[in-house]
Amino acid sequence: MKNCNFIFLLVFFSIINSCQKHTNDHSDSNLTLDDKVENAKLNDEVEETFKNKTSNYSFLKYENVKISLQNEKSLNVENIESNGVFNSSLYISYMNNIVDSLLYNNIEPNGSSYGIYFCKDLFCNYYIALKYGDYEGKTILIKNDGKMFEINGGIPYLDHENNILISDYYSDIQGFSIFSLINNNLLLDIEIEGQINTFYYYKNEYYVSIFDFEDNINILKKIDMYNKKLLSTKVKINEINGYELELLFDPTNNIKK
């Protein structure tokens, strides 16, 4: 596991005046990052305030992959929470060529976090970023070769032993996604009833603890990834205490790994 480096990004990327857009067009491969990026200081995360907006820039670099992030908030709106004038953009370059991007415009703020946040570490050759707002959490997975995957969920948990990432939806709909960092594919995306507490890996099986609002109790379900459903189990929650997966980012407390 290697620490990611934050450096100042002096490049302005234009924001497209439309709703959320995901660009996978590789025809822009002739675009390069500004040379000033190479001379920027390490470990910098810079916020600049202009007449009518505040822009926060972050930059991650690992070998041939560079990721630039801009979170932009309008300052000429009296109540940002109700108007939601907030834009986020993320650009990925490989060997100085832009190969992919994510653009979120006019994000509707909700909950305790909105915009895009980076986890600080590299996990199994992946950077992990989280997008919040619009009542829909997203987990953005960026491999060290520049390939990007976007899955549902804004509260990520990691099984370090098997390099499996599970992401709680963090939305009005309850559910979670499971992604293999080894095989680079989505294993499961499922909606559930009840509220997720946490996830476990115990005796080669994955489990999820759920609060059942109808019966007002916590219940444990086994995750059947092959048949893509949850199963009843005789395993009790107190049996698997200590086998919880690691929580990588908690948007309610702004806890980052």
Task: Give, for all 257 residues of the chain, the pLDDT tens digit.
Answer: 433 333 323 232 332 233 233 333 333 333 333 433 333 333 344 444 444 567 777 778 878 888 888 888 766 545 444 444 588 889 999 988 899 998 888 887 765 667 888 887 889 989 999 998 888 889 999 998 899 999 999 999 999 999 999 999 988 899 999 999 999 999 999 999 999 999 999 999 999 999 999 889 999 999 999 999 999 999 999 999 999 999 998 887 654 54
What integer pLDDT is reported at residue 26 of this predicted model?
32
Residue that finishes a domain, picked among 76, 109, 142: 109
What integer pLDDT is reported at residue 112 of this predicted model?
61
Number of domains comprising the chain: 2
79-89 tens-digit pLDDT:
444 444 588 88
Instruction: State the amino acid at position 128 in one-letter form.
Output: I
Residues 88 and 158 in one domain: no
Residues 95 and 130 in one domain: no
- Domain assignment of residue 184, given as a range: 111-257
Distance (Å) of CA 191 to CA 4, 228, 251: 33, 10, 20
Tokens describing residue 121 = 């570490």
Burial of 41 from C-beta contacts in 10 A (0-12 / 13-18 / 19+)? exposed
106-139 tens-digit pLDDT:
887 765 667 888 887 889 989 999 998 888 889 9
Residues 88 and 171 in one domain: no
- Cβ neighbors of 110 (< 8 A, separation 6 or more) are 132, 133, 134, 135
Residues 105 and 118 in one domain: no
What integer pLDDT is reported at residue 196 of this predicted model?
95
Residues 189 and 216 in one domain: yes
SS (H, E, C) 94-153: ECCEEEEEEEECCCCCCCCCCEEEECCECECCEEEEEEECCCCCEEEEEECCCCEEEEEC
Residues 115 and 102 in one domain: no
**How far is the C-alpha of 170 from the C-alpha of 137, rounded, in Å?**
5
Residue that finishes a domain, picked among 56, 82, 109: 109
Residues 147 and 83 in one domain: no
Element (H, E) at 156: strand 155-159
Q: Of 102, 144, 137, nearest to 123 (Cα)?
A: 144
